[in-house]
Amino acid sequence: MYLIKTRIQESKIHGKGYIADEDVPIGTIIYFYGEKDKRISKEEFDILPQNKKEHLTEFAVEDEFGNWVETSTGPYTNHSCDPNIMPLFIEGYYTDIVVKDIKKGDEITIDYAQFFSSEKWTMDCNCGTKRCRKHVGFGLKTDCEAESYYEQQIRHAVGNLNKVNQPIHDSSDKYAKQISNILKSCKKPTVGKYVKFGLIKS
Ligand SMILES: [Zn+2]
């Protein structure tokens, strides 16, 4: 579940998607791995039946150690080559941060190629943005321009972390409280530890 108001409806990009039901400014954390998200260790993953592995590969998120988190937002968050949210680790806690102001009615999108994957994968893309790479995947080479574009966006968004009204402060989830405390503890956010997956090299 996102921390903002959304509805699931037909997407212009693919199948169904999450449509924002409110305006959300850049720098807002709209998702975090919470208590209810299912964690699967590498050892547990390795002994799963093939169909379950394939399901997770499509809809869950893997870290660089082979552990997985099955998120509640996975199935309906579509890919875009110019997304409005990006993955961001805050002191080790996974979140999604808004990198472009979201208007009510916009679809929430993320770049799938930013996620680590132990399997190389590719897909054709028709996201319709000017930056569409047409063929995307983990491990595909991207140009420096795309990387610096994302780098700039995430830095700008991180710079706004404490300037916006963060819905995560209102959550009772224990992980949300920990993230919330980190955000509140620094006057000027110094989130330098975010892990940049896939496209973006640290
Ligand atoms: Zn695209």
pLDDT at 196 over 60: no
Centre of ligand 1 to C-alpha 135, Å, is 7
Q: What is the pLDDT of residues 9-67, one digit of tens each?
A: 999 988 999 999 999 999 999 999 888 888 889 999 999 999 999 888 878 888 777 88
Give phi and psi for 175, each to the nearest 5.
-70, -35
Topology of the domain covering 6-37+72-185? Beta-clip-like (2.170.270)
Check residue 112 and give its pLDDT.
86
Q: Tokens 């680790």 label which residue? A: 89
pLDDT at 130 over 90: yes
Centre of ligand 1 to C-alpha 126, Å, is 5
Centre of ligand 1 to C-alpha 138, Å, is 14
Per the model's pLDDT, the better-predicted residue between 166 and 93 turns out to be: 166
Centre of ligand 1 to C-alpha 30, Å, is 22
Per the model's pLDDT, the better-predicted residue between 93 and 97 turns out to be: 97
Check residue 187 and give its pLDDT.
57
Neighbours of ion ligand 1 (CB under 5 A): 81, 125, 127, 132
Domain ranges of the chain: 6-37+72-185
CA dihedral 48, 51, 54, 56 (to 10 degrees): -60
**Residues contacting residue 137 through CB under 8 Å, at least 6 positions apart:** 113, 120, 121, 122, 123
**Chain-wide mean pLDDT for the chain?**
84
Centre of ligand 1 to C-alpha 168, Å, is 30
The β-bridge partners of 39 are 69
List Cα–Cα distances, 28 to 33, 55, 91, 143, 144, in angstroms: 15, 29, 17, 28, 26
pLDDT at 162 over 50: yes
Centre of ligand 1 to C-alpha 12, Å, is 12
Check residue 69 and give its pLDDT.
84
SS3 content of the chain, % helix, strand, coil (to 5): 25, 25, 50
Centre of ligand 1 to C-alpha 90, Å, is 27
Centre of ligand 1 to C-alpha 131, Å, is 7
pLDDT at 198 over 50: no
The helix/strand/coil state of 176 is helix
Report the C-alpha gap between 91 and 158 in whole angstroms: 13
Centre of ligand 1 to C-alpha 110, Å, is 11
Q: Is 197 exposed, middle or buried (0-12, 13-18, 19+ CB in 10 A)?
A: buried
The β-bridge partners of 91 are none
Report the C-alpha gap between 154 and 159 in whole angstroms: 8
Which amino acid is it at 15? G
Check residue 151 and give its pLDDT.
82
Token pair in block for residue 202: 């640290």
Centre of ligand 1 to C-alpha 80, Å, is 5
